[in-house]
Amino acid sequence: MMRRLSELKDKLSDRDLAILHDLENFRLLTTRQIQRLHFADGHRTTSAGTRACTRVLSRLADLGLIAHLTRRIGGVRQGSAAMTWQLAATGERLLRAIHGGGHRRRFTEPTTTFVAHTLEAAELGVRLRETQRTGQIEVTELHAERRAWQRFLGAHGAPVWLRPDLRAVTAGDDFEHHWFIELDRATEHTPHLDRKLDTYAAYYRSGAYQAAHDLFPTVLWVAPTTDRLRQLTRLTSRLTLPTDVFRYCLPDAFIDIVTAETLGPQTVPLPGVVTTDPPHP
């Protein structure tokens, strides 16, 4: 097995390995997202980049390293760009052989709801990486799935997990900014949101992150409507936490708020951003 994995690794370029690492991190990515991450430069048109991306993904699939889901995002008419990809078992074994350890996954067809949420969260990560490419900010850390999760001891000494969708660290010339990012699709009911917010409050009070980094991340909720943002604001207002812990924005304002918080609010306007001001009655 190890010999076969070594032979497989020898067939892969640095870009091939980077694609595998991104699929490991984000869990699911569409062809279009992978194209934006790894084939944005060096092609005369977006279509040419997508074709090159599709060829590489087909080769990685033929090697048994990745696999696409049965369902396509956007339907059959969208063609290969609508395919959603994940690591295959061999791809996961290869990365574990390269880096050691890691969490072993079962590779099954996920539910439609899981796919939609995972891809929308991944989209925020893709947009962060694209913003870094422009030179506006540096993204020094970007973790999704289990790598974003934080384990701490609760009030009674039992282990508790905080599960943000993304954890990121962005940097400008002088400072870095830490983020927990929550992609909210307005599908979760109030009791679920309350439990998640209570976990954030408990994690803040534990002091675990502050002890390691001398700060606590901004928790940025990205939600689809202003009504949902106001609902989130109302729910967080009951928590006895500093008012700058939680921020809220519409998807279109995501990069603006990250850039502004990283470089200073004078750098960009902030349309679609809801602050922690008291919510409307």
129 and 253 belong to one structural domain = yes
The count of other CB atoms within 10 Å of the CB of residue 114 is: 12
Domain ranges, residue 9: 1-109
DSSP letter at 153 equals: E
pLDDT at 73: 61
5 and 52 belong to one structural domain = yes
Confidence of residue 278 (pLDDT cuts 50, 70, 90): very low
In a domain, 139, yes or no: yes
187 and 246 belong to one structural domain = yes
103 and 125 belong to one structural domain = no
96 and 53 belong to one structural domain = yes
Domain count, the chain: 2
In single-letter form, the type of residue at position 44 comes to: R
In a domain, 18, yes or no: yes
Give how far Cα 185 sits from Cα of 23, 199, 221, Å: 22, 19, 10
Confidence of residue 279 (pLDDT cuts 50, 70, 90): very low
pLDDT at 198: 97
95 and 207 belong to one structural domain = no
52 and 135 belong to one structural domain = no
Per residue in 84-120, pLDDT (tens digit) is: 999 999 999 999 999 876 666 766 788 999 999 999 9
Per residue in 210-226, pLDDT (tens digit) is: 999 999 999 999 999 99
Q: Which residue bears the tokens 């194209």?
A: 35
pLDDT at 280: 45
206 and 87 belong to one structural domain = no
| Strand partners of residue 170 | 139, 177
Q: Give Cβ neighbours of residue 262 (< 8 Å, ≥ 6 apart).
A: 137, 170, 171, 172, 175, 176, 177
DSSP letter at 130 equals: H
Per residue in 241-269, pLDDT (tens digit) is: 998 999 999 999 999 999 999 998 655 55
Per residue in 13-24, pLDDT (tens digit) is: 999 999 999 999
253 and 133 belong to one structural domain = yes
- Of 263, 100, 66, nearest in space to 172 by CA: 263
In a domain, 90, yes or no: yes
Q: Quick one: which H or E segment has residue 248?
A: strand 246-249
In a domain, 158, yes or no: yes
pLDDT at 268: 53
In a domain, 278, yes or no: no
Q: What is the CATH number of the domain that holds 153?
A: 3.40.91
Look at residues 109, 142, 169 and tell me which one is the last residue of a structural domain.
Answer: 109
Calpha distance 226→247 (Å, rounded): 13
Which is it for strands 218-222 and 176-183: parallel, antiparallel or unpaired?
parallel
Calpha distance 83→54 (Å, rounded): 10
Look at residues 74, 109, 144 and tell me which one is the last residue of a structural domain.
Answer: 109
256 and 130 belong to one structural domain = yes
pLDDT at 277: 47
pLDDT at 202 over 70: yes
Q: What is the CATH number of the domain that holds 94?
A: 1.10.10.10
Q: Please give the span between the terminal C-alpha atoms of the chain, in angstroms, as a whole number.
A: 63
pLDDT at 1: 66
91 and 135 belong to one structural domain = no
In a domain, 267, yes or no: no
72 and 151 belong to one structural domain = no
Confidence of residue 76 (pLDDT cuts 50, 70, 90): very low
Mean pLDDT of all residues in 65-86: 75
- In sign, the C-alpha dihedral spanning 108, 25, 191, 206 is positive
pLDDT at 138: 97
Average pLDDT, the chain: 89
Tokens of 40: 């944005």
Confidence of residue 37 (pLDDT cuts 50, 70, 90): very high
Look at residues 67, 93, 109 and tell me which one is the last residue of a structural domain.
Answer: 109
pLDDT at 143 over 90: yes
